Structure 1
Amino acid sequence: MSETTTRPAARTPGAVRAQPGEHVFEMAKLNRILGGPDYSSAVGTCVEGERMIVALMRMAAGTGAEPHSHPNEQWIYVLEGTFRAVVGGQPCEVPAGSVLYIPADVVHSGRAGEDRDVVFFTVKDASHGLHGIKA
């Protein structure tokens, strides 16, 4: 895409929207956004396609996301640290190397442990943006 071409807006403010012929995204070089501006401490980068949204996020030790939901389902793959979540009222401890599934419209929250940041890769369907709705 040339510098003079306008990139169509992503569903998520600050995210990158993939364009035809664009296949590789260096996450470390993309615009950093909040994972949930009014409910979460997660910060990272996000790329949106036609049907999928991916994001690489970091949540500082001892911080987290307040209860929220979104109309799209979500997968969270924990790369570093331990993510302590509550999904639909059920506590879940998600260590590095594990994946957490969050169904659509289910209220959930999560926190990084007190001793270490959590780094996670998340995937959502593109029926809604990355950001959820605070419960």
Structure 2
Amino acid sequence: MEKKFIKNIEFSTAVELADLVKYQPGQVISLTFVQNETLSMTLFAFAKGEGVSTHSAPGDAMVYMLDGEAEITIGDKKVRAKKGEAVVMPADVPHGLEAVENFKMLLILVRK
């Protein structure tokens, strides 16, 4: 059997990532592709008004916006991000986000 490191996505085909998670009113939907000690890759769909409270991570986190718009707080700075944009949040710096409107993102966390 062939060893696979990525799960929950079809191999050897072009896939529209945003189509893999659907918006649900009042909810955050997630689909994990990789989760191990050095790397985490998760796709999210956030309904408007939903978010992630301020926290810090043991590695650098990058969000790539697939749809919509979010406000991301990194330390004392607020960043608006929309479809096609990426934002990197450095390790050990408190950060959080809120859906300004429905939005989808791919989160990549690279741990130390």
Q: Same fold (TM over 0.5)?
A: yes
Cα deviation, residue 42, structure 1 = 3.4
- Kindly indicate whether residue 52 of structure 2 is the aligned counterpart of residue 65 of structure 1: yes
- Kindly indicate whether residue 73 of structure 2 is the aligned counterpart of residue 91 of structure 1: no
Measured on the aligned residues, the alpha-carbon RMSD in Å equals 2.2
TM-score by length of 2: 0.73
Matched position secondary structure for 2:59: coil
Q: Mark the runs of 5 or more structure 1 residues left unpaired by the alignment.
A: 2-19, 29-40, 128-135
Q: Mark the runs of 5 or more structure 2 residues left unpaired by the alignment.
A: 11-26
- Kindly indicate whether residue 30 of structure 2 is the aligned counterpart of residue 44 of structure 1: yes
**Counterpart residue number, 2:105:** 120
Q: For each residue in 1:18-48, what CA deviation from the matched residue of structure 2 results, as whole angstroms up to 9, or x when unmatched?
A: xx711553349xxxxxxxxxxxx63301122
Higher strand proportion: 2
The 1:72–1:120 alpha-carbon spacing in structure 2 relative to 1, beyond 3 Å, is same
Q: For each residue in 1:53-72, what CA deviation from the matched residue of structure 2 results, as whole angstroms up to 9, or x when unmatched?
A: 10001111111111111111
The 1:50–1:62 alpha-carbon spacing in structure 2 relative to 1, beyond 3 Å, is closer
The 4+ residue runs of structure 1 with deviation greater than 6 A are: none
Cα contact 1:48–1:126 (8 A) shared by 2: no
TM-score by length of 1: 0.62
Cα contact 1:81–1:118 (8 A) shared by 2: yes
Paired residues in the alignment total 95
- Kindly indicate whether residue 105 of structure 2 is the aligned counterpart of residue 105 of structure 1: no
